């Protein structure tokens, strides 16, 4: 019996290896986010002051949409080729599988965000603050936590891929709200120290949903016959 942590690590490295072998997937997700940023800035006209104000919102919307592309395919390989049965035969702990996938999605999201940031700076004429990284980390953790869980639950159904954003986006409203507000206060000035409220909300959200998803992770992989 391999320990829980090494199982998690194994799942994570497996996904990372495959992902880097087939880089085109990561690149296409990145291009999608990049295109979204361009389209959003085109569609909203050229008012530099306005653009500066709404840039955090546009950035996070682009991240949200790109994350759906990523999440929808995060369990694709397990669904195809009977890999699912393989994992079950290896008696992987479902919690470890979930955590491994979650970490993978989290890292990809972070890479995507950091890749998009320079363009945000160029298009919207913004200045970056190093502590933005902590907001990126908390925000991506929120998206990845709930997103991975929902993706695992529903991508095995034919219509699941269309339903994922429908189910996920309303759930992630607190993350979107808090991330946008926190980013905004960071990029403009924050005389009343309001940013910390939103950062706290992100931490609470991440914590609650990480806990809930880990507790429920076993449900994701139960075989139809395997119910107690």
Partner 1 sequence: MKTKLFGILAFAFLGFAHYWGLRVAPPDALMGDVYRILFVHVPAAWMAMLFFFLSFIGSIGYLIKRKNSWDQWAESTAEIGLVLTGLTLVLGSIWGKPTWGVWWTWDPRLTTTALLLIMYSGYLMIRKLISDPERRPKISAAIGLLTFLNVPIVYMSVKWWRSLHQVQSSPQTMDPVMVLPLRLGALALLAVCLFFLIVRLKIAKERAVREEGGSS
Contacts of 171 (CB under 8 A, 6+ apart): 146, 150
Which position among 61, 177, 203, 214 is part of the footprint of partner 1 (CB under 8 A)?
177
Judge whether 72 and 155 are in contact, CB under 8 Å.
Answer: yes
Which position among 30, 59, 106, 149 is part of the footprint of partner 1 (CB under 8 A)?
149
Question: Closest separation between CB of residue 13 and partner 1, Å?
Answer: 27
Residue 199 interacting with partner 1 (CB under 8 A): no
What track of x and - describes contact with partner 1 for positions 154 through 173 (by CB under 8 A)? x--x-xx--x--xx--xx-x
Q: Which is nearer to partner 1, 112 or 138 (CB)?
A: 138
CA distance 97 to 112: 23
Which position among 26, 133, 174, 214 is part of the footprint of partner 1 (CB under 8 A)?
174
Residues 200-219 that bind partner 1 (CB under 8 A): 201, 204-205, 208-209, 212-213, 216, 219
Q: Beta-strand (E) ranges in the chain?
A: none
Judge whether 136 and 186 are in contact, CB under 8 Å.
Answer: no
Residue 114 interacting with partner 1 (CB under 8 A): no
Q: Which is nearer to partner 1, 33 or 152 (CB)?
A: 152
Q: Which is nearer to partner 1, 193 or 227 (CB)?
A: 227
- Binding segment for partner 1 among 31-39, 43-51, 66-74, 199-207 (CB under 8 A)? 199-207
Residues of this chain that bind partner 1 (CB under 8 A)? 146, 149-150, 153-154, 157, 159-160, 163, 166-167, 170-171, 173-174, 177-178, 197, 201, 204-205, 208-209, 212-213, 216, 219-220, 222, 224-225, 227-228
């Amino acid at each position: 019996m391999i320990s829980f942590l090494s199982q998690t690590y194994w799942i994570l490295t497996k996904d990372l290896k495959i992902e880097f072998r087939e880089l085109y997937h990561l690149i296409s997700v990145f291009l999608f986010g990049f295109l979204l940023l361009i389209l959003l800035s085109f569609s909203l006209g050229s008012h530099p002051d306005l653009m500066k104000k709404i840039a955090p919102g546009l950035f996070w919307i682009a991240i949200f949409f790109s994350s759906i592309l990523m999440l929808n395919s995060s369990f694709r390989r397990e669904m195809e080729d009977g890999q699912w049965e393989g994992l079950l035969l290896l008696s992987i702990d479902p919690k470890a599988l979930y955590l491994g996938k979650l970490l993978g999605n989290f890292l990809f999201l972070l890479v995507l965000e950091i890749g998009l940031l320079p363009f945000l700076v160029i298009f919207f004429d913004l200045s970056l603050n190093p502590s933005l990284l902590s907001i990126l980390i908390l925000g991506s953790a929120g998206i990845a936590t709930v997103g991975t869980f929902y993706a695992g639950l529903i991508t095995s159904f034919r219509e699941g891929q269309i339903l994922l954003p429908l189910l996920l986006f309303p759930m992630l409203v607190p993350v979107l709200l808090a991330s946008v507000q926190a980013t905004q206060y960071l990029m403009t000035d924050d005389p009343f120290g309001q940013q910390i409220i939103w950062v706290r909300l992100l931490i609470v959200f991440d914590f609650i949903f990480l806990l809930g998803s880990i507790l429920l992770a076993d449900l994701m992989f139960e075989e139809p016959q395997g119910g107690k």
